[in-house]
Amino acid sequence: MKVVTGFGAILAAALIWFSGAASAHHVWLEPEGQGVQLSFGEFGENLRETSPGLLDRLQPQAKTATSAGEQALALTKAAAGFTGSLATGGGNVIAEDARYPISVRTRDGVTTRSLWWPAARFVTDRTAAKPVLVLDVLPAGGDKFKVFFKGQPLAKVKVEVVAAFGWSKDAYTDADGSFEMTLPWRGLYALEVHHVDKTPGKRGEEAFDTASYVTTLTLVQGQGIDMPPRPAQVLGKPN
């Protein structure tokens, strides 16, 4: 039996990754100069919605989380995303849009009101952390991660792990919301999870029938083989 070791093992693991590209729209955070940028679009395709355009629908709020506690982070809207400046030491950044317009659709005489709640988290290391977002993806140390929904572990949910150059691999959480994933390339990754809650509810005075949550965890892998180039940035069309 032939055993693959060293660089060969890393390369073999990397090749298994070529399984497809990410698709659904989401928001994500990534380092930008001395701060972060929040983008809306498709991470794996480097597609970013713009203003004027779909970006104008977002009303995100952000904060930083460090050992000293949480602090609000001001976001400034630019042409292709929102930017925020970070103090020295940075820390983790969390962003979400709890005010995205509720979608109303009528089919065969039945009207459905759907809530969409996009959120993102950027971490500078893989130290285990506590959930803050309604749907949260968190590092749990090393190559381990954990998904939570409303503070409780979320079992048997798919997580799409996407490298910045566009290829992805799916993982599934176990009974306690955990999953493990080796990241073979050096560079930026997004871990994306979706969850639909069919329990009717209210956001303020607005009623909804279903709620769809999508959250991404982004991080920079410092070790591994060279990551292929990222696709050229694609900007969404103005309205």
H/E run at residue 123? none
Among residues 123, 128, 154, the alpha carbon closest in space to that of 142 is found at 128
Q: For the beta carbon of residue 4, count every other beta carbon within 10 angstroms.
A: 11
pLDDT (0 to 100) of residue 176: 96
The answer to whether the CB of 97 falls within 8 A of the CB of 61 is yes
> CA 209 to CA 113: how far, in whole Å?
5
pLDDT (0 to 100) of residue 82: 98
Question: Running DSSP on this structure, what letter comes out for residue 88?
Answer: T
144 burial (CB, 10 Å; 0-12 / 13-18 / 19+) is middle
The label of the residue with tokens 């999870």 reads 193
One-letter amino acid at 142 equals G
* Cα 63 to Cα 77, 86, 90, 162, 213, distances in angstroms: 16, 10, 11, 24, 19
> CA 123 to CA 229: how far, in whole Å?
22
pLDDT (0 to 100) of residue 121: 97
pLDDT (0 to 100) of residue 88: 55
Stated pTM of the model: 0.88
> CA 60 to CA 81: how far, in whole Å?
11
pLDDT (0 to 100) of residue 239: 63
> CA 174 to CA 154: how far, in whole Å?
8
What counts of helices (H) and strands (E) characterise the chain?
1, 22
Mean pLDDT by 10 residues, the chain (239 residues): 43 40 76 93 96 95 86 95 79 93 93 96 91 96 96 98 95 97 96 97 95 98 95 86
The label of the residue with tokens 């972060």 reads 36
